[in-house]
Homo-oligomer: A and B are copies of this chain.
Amino acid sequence: MQFNEIVEKLKEGQSGLVDFEIKNNQNIISAASLEKAKENDISFLDNNSPLNLRDIIKDSKASALLLPSEDKNITEIIKNLTVNWILIKDPKIAFAETLEFLYPSEIEKEGIHETAVIGENVKIGPNVSIGANVYIGDHSEIGAETIIHAGVVVYRKVIIGSKNIIHANSVIHSDSKLGDECVINANAVIGGEGFGFVPTSKGWKKMPQVGKVILNNKVEIGSGSTIDRPSVGETILGEDTKIDNLVQIGHGVTTGKGCAMAAQVGIAGGAQIGNSVILAGQVGVGNKVIIGDRVIASSKTGIISNIDAGKVVSGFPAIPNKLWLRCSANFKKLPEIAKAIRELNRKNSR
């Protein structure tokens, strides 16, 4: 794609194109990071990129650069650039849009592969793609333009909306409900039974898990993640909530809209999570904990009591992030602290 075509397409996008210069209308074939870009590549500098990357752009071998319009250093630097550039309010969004038109998704074959097994009374919408060795249980529904890759197992009475992408070998249990434009990555498990056992004198009594999982529109679930259904009621992930790989969402958890949870997060049963909550990798959230809107927890945080909206927390048990940073800095000094106390005690006991 010629550089000027990219300019025209970005003008129609959401990234806020401010200015551009065509030094040489090259063919842009691929995209790369600033450090690795070579001729015919396009690359970008993010608004928040480290300062040292500003030097890299001077020497970049990329044929085109997406640069932040709000960075005054950049407006100086571009005067001396010999490559094509675009100044843009949000270069990261521009880069995402550029990837979309440089690398269009492969189109899956429509129709049902001859090895797929479709149960009784299954409703399948128009333009659906169902891959090899897929199994769809009785009374399930697959909405228009949904793509189900090879080896997926959908149990009974599952309702899947339109334009979903379900990757290979993932499993969706009975009664689960997916909205539109969801992505379920490979080997994820949606609607498995919650972990509920009641102690008795004869051992564990299993609590039947007859609830269901609901994923609202635009929810994405990472590879190998598990979203459990509850004993009664629903586990609900709010619209546009994004879940990374190997995340556990316990029975009866609810989240608001637009949350993001990084890999290996674990949310115990019944936790209630607000809108736009961000949990970094390996965070744990306890049973029935309530987390307010826009809370951010840094990696490995353990949240075992409620957190008010807007807080940034860290550590285990979770405390305010800034306090945790100071406490952690002092943790390293504990041997010195203990020694200082021994010496003070000695002096004071004289």
Report the minimum CB–CB distance from A44 to chain B (whole Å).
10
The range of chain A's interface size is 35 or more
A248 and B233 form a contact (CB under 8 A): no
User: What secondary structure prevails in chain A residues at the interface with B?
Assistant: loop
A204 and B132 form a contact (CB under 8 A): no
Check: A299 CB closer than 8 A to any chain B CB: yes
A193 and B184 CA atoms in complex are apart in Å by 11
A186 and B192 form a contact (CB under 8 A): yes
Q: Which chain B positions have C-beta within 8 A of A31?
A: 210, 232
B333 and A331 form a contact (CB under 8 A): no
A325 and B264 CA atoms in complex are apart in Å by 25
Excluding A99-B210, A326-B335, 15 further A-B contacts by CB distance (< 8 Å) are: A100-B208, A115-B115, A186-B192, A187-B187, A189-B224, A203-B218, A203-B239, A204-B258, A206-B220, A226-B246, A228-B245, A246-B266, A263-B268, A300-B302, A344-B345
- 19 A-B pairs within 8 Å (CB atoms) are namely A14-B205, A96-B206, A99-B207, A99-B232, A106-B156, A115-B117, A133-B133, A155-B168, A187-B226, A195-B242, A203-B257, A204-B218, A206-B220, A223-B226, A223-B228, A226-B263, A262-B268, A286-B299, A330-B334
